[in-house]
Amino acid sequence: FHDSPMFSTHDRSLTFPHSPCNDLVAPGRDGKPNALVQVAVIDPQKQHLVFHACTEIVEANKDPLFLTGVTFPSEYPDSPETIVKLTVCDARSKSQESVSKQQLLLFWFFYCKMIQACVCVCVCVFSGCSFKPSCCKAQKPLEFIPINLHTQRMRVTCPKKADAFYDIVTVGAPAAHFQGFKCGGLQRLLSRYESDKKSAAYQCIYYSPEHTAKAQEVLSTMGLLQPLITGSADQLLLAAHEHSSSGMRDALKSLSDKTEQFVHTLKDELVKSALLALHAARPGYVTKSQKQPLEQSHRQVNQGTLKHQDSIPHHKEFDEEEWDRVWASVAKCLNCVIAMVDKLQEGGNSKQEPAPELQLADVITSHNPGDWKEQLCPLVSRLKDCVMEVVEKAKRAMTFVLLQEAACSTPQGFLLQQRRDVVFSQALAALACGFVMKLYAGLRDKNFLRQLHLVGLVAQFESLLSTYSEEIGMLEDMEVGISDLQKVVFTITEAKTDKLSELQPSVWGRRDHFTVEVPLPQVIFQTLPEEMKEGKPLRVYPVLFNVGINEQQTIAERFGDISLQERINQRNFELLEAYYKTLSEKVPLECKCALLETLGQNVVTKKRKNVEILWTAGTICRRLNGIRFTSCKSAKDRTSMSVTLEQCALLRDEHQLSKDSFVQALDCMRREGCRIENVQKNIRCRKYAFNILQLMAFPKCYRPPEGTYGKVNS
């Protein structure tokens, strides 16, 4: 590696931004290794090598690009003499997904072959600034970090009203600035990629992103529910052994709930169709239409050819009803268990009707009525067996779907996934920041906490990007990144101590599901609702509204295309409306539908630079206790105009700022204070990057005062 690894100041993560591991060769194979990097540490005090961690495997690529890094936790012992040893390896084979992380690392450690020589680099004491200024937005080593992520709190002291504060979160548009926008952004690139995969060139079955997401969901749900079903079944048998009616009742309720969820998950057409596709893909599969001609041809060929054809196993025709019978048997077995529990608790009444298919009465009368466990055991075992059979079939089917997706993947798909990871990482960092601020601000608000654990919070992103030139690509990236935040949930945990290092959020999960853990001090944690203390996942509902306000948007409106902006605003209005309806069913609200109706009208109104969309959406979000984010390309210039306008509007509408003082306050906020300091922090200059010609295209309320703008290099 000609570049030293990069260490962030918070989690001290080790990444490989410019890896020169090029033209790697794996002897005895096709020359395309599954590359990974092992990281080991030499402790200068003990002078021996300790294995630490390794990167993700890169799929058969001689020029690897590592999508994951290696993290050194904050408590990790280090010194200026600490040596990190990086070893580039070729993984001969890969373990199954179900293997634990520790086992996976051991597998890689013992079954790897060296490709290149080991490299040693010295580790510094991890000092530096975690802030990424706007001028660094296109730097490769920093592409996963959000641009100019900035928080601000406006506190208002008013003699006629209780003190109030308003939090502001601003961030540059989550986008792959380093990769550029020559071919568009994620929304366009993904659409084109999906179209390409449907072509005949790919010799695989095409499954849409919705299908692959469903397959991952089914696998995840099965993996979660199967052990819960088994555990509830064992609890039922234990209660039966103890002749505990209440224990049996509780265990049976849990078993019924989990089994019904399990069955509901598998009643999906995708599982059934995937089983058929998997069966048809096996060697020797013969359809009904092929069967008769094949038998005739067998009679016409010589004995040698017949022998060769018979070496290929011919499978029986696929019974499309078999899958329905398999998952339905789980429900029938559950009914038998329920019937037996009722029978036992009624005192062994032999006149009860037999249970479906298993002739329950025969089972009951064949055993001593006094031994409840003995009579329940065969029925519970049968239920477990049926669940296991269903799991095995469904796993094969859903894995087949995911393998088809992998088979269709190309280098283009790999690069698109990397781009999506970059954009999502920036959006996730901003969301986590906003969530933590909102949580701490609302800890004493019982209605807010109730809303949080019953429904979740809306997270509204306001964007000022134009739909012209490269900014349309940024907006396409941002749209996908914000939408991907639907995969994120938050949980609240109790911090071990009140040290700042113990209160940092942490992220874990996979691309289809991420959990952000937010530790709270022990005293605060104890005041939370029980659902939150028990670790209930807390959802966020991300929405994005965009109105371009600069001179490029003028060009787009007159000569270009603003359909992307219109579609984004219409789609996200529908999402916000759906959230409002869900929330209003569970939590009393002060916000009335009138604002939503106004927003809906503005979204469909053909009006240039209709910033009322942003104002109305922002007001709705605040009244719904939501999290607000404001963005433009760098969150520096246009964002400052929007934020200061919002703050002055709050002072006017909520704290009696007179109309005569409004413009004066607005100019003061833009000339002095937090936003101009943010500009200084980013580009070492106290001027917004506008010129007089550009500002002529801006709505008047978004124009800065004289003397605060000019030509700068940003």
List the catalytic residues: 632
Task: Note the helical H segments in 587-611.
Answer: 593-604
Sheet strand arrangement including 70-71? 6-7, 13-15, 70-71
Amino acid at residue number 516: V
Q: What distance in Å separates the CA atoms of residue 318 and residue 612, rounded to the nearest whole number? A: 58
What type of residue is 247?
G
Burial of 584 (0-12, 13-18, 19+ CB in 10 A): middle
The C-alpha angle 206, 207, 212, rounded to 5 degrees, equals: 150
Q: How far is CA 656 from CA 141, 161, 504, in A?
A: 47, 10, 38
What are the phi and psi torsion angles at 28 (to 5°)? 80, 5
- What's the rounded Cα separation, in Å, for the pair 701 and 647? 13
In the block, which residue shows the tokens 């630079």? Answer: 609
Angstrom distances, CA of residue 657 to CA of 154, 263, 663: 15, 59, 10
d(CA 158, CA 156): 6
320-323 contacts at long range (C-beta below 8 A, 24 or more positions apart)? 320/272, 320/276, 323/271, 323/272, 323/275, 323/393
What residues pair up with 285 in beta bridges, in sequence order?
Answer: none
In Å, what is the CA distance from 225 to each residue of 232, 380, 588?
10, 16, 33
Residue 140: its H or E element: none
Computed on alpha carbons and rounded to an integer, the radius of gyration of the chain in Å comes to 31
Amino acid at 338: I
Q: Could you tell me which residues come within 8 angstroms of residue 86 by beta carbon, excluding any fewer than 6 positions away?
A: 1, 5, 37, 38, 39, 118, 119, 120, 121
SS3 content of the chain, % helix, strand, coil (to 5): 50, 15, 35
